[in-house]
Amino acid sequence: MITGITGQDGAYLAQHLLERGYRVVGAFRRASTVATTRLDSLGITDEIEMVPFDLTDHGNMRRVIDAVEPDEIYNLAAQSFVGVSFEQPVTTGEITGVGVVRLLEAIREANPEIRFYQASTSEMFGKAPAPQNEETLFHPRSPYAVSKLYAHWSTVNYREAYGMHASSGILFNHESPLRGAEFVTRKITLAAARIKHGLQDELKLGNLDARRDWGYAREYVEAMRLMLQQPEPGDYVIATGETHSVREFVEAAFEAAELDWEQHVVTDPAFLRPAEVDLLLGDITKAKKKLGWEPKTTFKDLVALMVEADLKRAAFEARHGRESAEIR
């Protein structure tokens, strides 16, 4: 069972598990419609059993777990946008933090033998010195990161207190053409593509000097599955071991679109965070040794494949006057 299955990671993870013969149940937050665009793009929607699931409702979670009887639960659901967490800190804490404890408790009550994956984040490191690994002290710098840290330590606590196979993947930034347009990387690649096709003139960004460790989401979900196949649970940093600035991402994206970024990109204080994370750089020694996992896609190749997908989308929009539903 995958919570947050309609997001970037949920879609890629579902595809990865289906390819390995899993029965996949997708848990989604009930709304008037289910946003299956990413699943549709990968052509896997019809292969997934979808169930309404609410991280604020313990009773609902317990009933779903009893009905589905999963062997593994991957919790990818969260209010996951850092900027929004400053505007909605309580909601972020309720869903991204406390919601995980509700889920862990529902698993403990229903069947503590279920293997559990918690999507932790490099944002928990915040101001911690780089490179960051599983032993680095956390210093979160946003309500989102604080909420994720609460969920992370709760996962550790349930592992130690109840002997549950509960693991956390401390994933550094991971991107793809399925990334939401509100995230800075996709905002950049989509803008470059739209500028190339005459659909917009400029791109407004905040701090161009912030540095991140960026990898390919499709590869990162493989590490999630590997964690739950280990004899013993644990926490793993998943990253590339390289760091690049937002400015470097901009340069690579506009180069891929054959544009001069300096003619189109402007900085806007409105996009600056109240507390910035300056540098994230992951050390994946443990993941390499214990999981046999390491990244394959380079930074420039990642940016290029995102731009390529967005150029196709922008070309469709230029021709038809509307956005394409295809985001692969």
Residues forming the active site:
121, 123, 144
As a residue count, the chain comes to 328
| Strand boundaries in the chain, DSSP class E | 2-3, 25-28, 49-52, 72-75, 115-121, 166-171, 174-175, 203-205, 211-212, 215-216, 235-238, 244-245, 265-267
Please give the structure tokens belonging to residue 328.
């692969």
Exposed, middle or buried by CB within 10 Å (0-12, 13-18, 19+), for 137? exposed
Q: What is the C-alpha to C-alpha distance for residues 157 and 276, in angstroms, rounded to an integer?
A: 29
| Cis peptide leading into residue 131 (ω within 30°) | yes
Query: Minimal CA–CA distance to 312: which of 256, 265, 259?
Result: 256
**Amino acid, res. 183:** F
3-state SS, 46-93, equals: HHCEEEECCCCCHHHHHHHHHHHCCCEEEECCCCCCHHHHHHCHHHHH
Cα–Cα distance for residue pair 141/273, rounded to 1 Å: 10
Contact call for residues 306 and 179 (beta carbons, < 8 A): yes
Q: Are 43 and 14 in contact (CB under 8 A)?
A: no
Helix (H) or strand (E) holding 100: helix 99-110
